[in-house]
Amino acid sequence: MKKLILTLSLFLLSQSFAENAHVSLQFQENIMTHHIIDVSTEIETAFPGFDLKETLKQKIFADFMVVPSDSSDVYELEMTLRRVIVSLRANDNSIKFDTDGEARTLPEEQLKDCVGKKVRFSIAKDLKFVIAPELENLQSLYPSLSGSFTKESLKSMVFYLFALNGRALSKGEKYDLDLYDEEMPISFNINAAGLREIQASISGYKESKELMLTKNAKIIFETVASGKGVWQTENALLYQVKIQLSTSGDIVMGEERVPLKVKSSQKFSSMPG
């Protein structure tokens, strides 16, 4: 009986320690992981005599691997694009392209030709910048790639992956990070921090802002973000993040105001290579 009580006490003590311990995410080098980036964006607006509902879906399959870096301030990554599926629906009209299918236009041919090519790039551990000369060289060979992949789009593909890097994480703590821009900090509330995984709820809010379109037209809008994420502690390249972004406002043209709603669903996930 004493042995059972002692065992139970040690177990409860270890659980209590695990819940209150600080844990740091590790990003293992030279281990390939398969990633899926799934983004769906819906836009609704109503001009006089014309309603527009547009849905853009993009699904990217890519391999990522952290490779050794000469600098302790950056992560060096190698990315291989495997497949891209893009679909666009505007009211009753729709188009779709899959790099696994037949290319019918020059941009589709160029995007298809990029499948299987490796690109190395560096991202600062504080997420402030991306250096991607190989991507820029690839864009010079395939100009249509600039519309799909830029240094900023690479950053948006991986910032949730590296958002909590370099931190001693503990349950109940909150971190505010400028992942999108300085006007919309994203908050990470740590719900669990253990030896196996880190769990966090994610939220953000951008207050009402004006964006000039032309001399006589502007957009007034606000944005709300919410979601959750799970990262494996021993290799955070294995993760799952789901984010919902909701933007609402008005397009202002002189005295006329046109309502605008944008909803974006973003899912990031990976599995071992």
pLDDT tens per residue across span 227-240:
999 999 999 999 99
Bridge partner list, 226: 203, 244
Residues 154-179: pLDDT tens digits? Answer: 777 788 999 999 999 999 999 988 76
For the CA atoms of the chain, what is the radius of gyration?
Answer: 22
Main-chain phi, psi angles of 257, to 5 degrees: -125, 130
Q: Which two tokens stand for residue 119?
A: 């690109």
For position 172, what pLDDT does the model report? Answer: 94
* Cβ contact 221:209 at 8 Å: yes
DSSP label of 128: S
CA–CA separation, 133 and 192 (whole Å): 38
For position 2, what pLDDT does the model report? Answer: 52
261 vs 92, higher pLDDT: 261
CA–CA separation, 62 and 64 (whole Å): 7
Burial of 10 (0-12, 13-18, 19+ CB in 10 A): exposed
Stated pTM of the model: 0.84
- In this structure, the dihedral spanned by the alpha carbons of residues 75, 76, 82 and 85, taken in order and rounded to 10 degrees, is 50
Residues 25-34: pLDDT tens digits? Answer: 999 999 999 9
CA–CA separation, 245 and 273 (whole Å): 30
Residues 39-98: pLDDT tens digits? Answer: 999 999 887 777 889 999 989 899 999 999 988 899 999 999 999 898 989 888 888 989
126 vs 28, higher pLDDT: 28
> What domains can be seen in the chain, in order of their start residue?
32-272 (2.30.230.10)
Coil, helix or strand at residue 78: strand
Q: In one letter, which amino acid is 252?
A: V
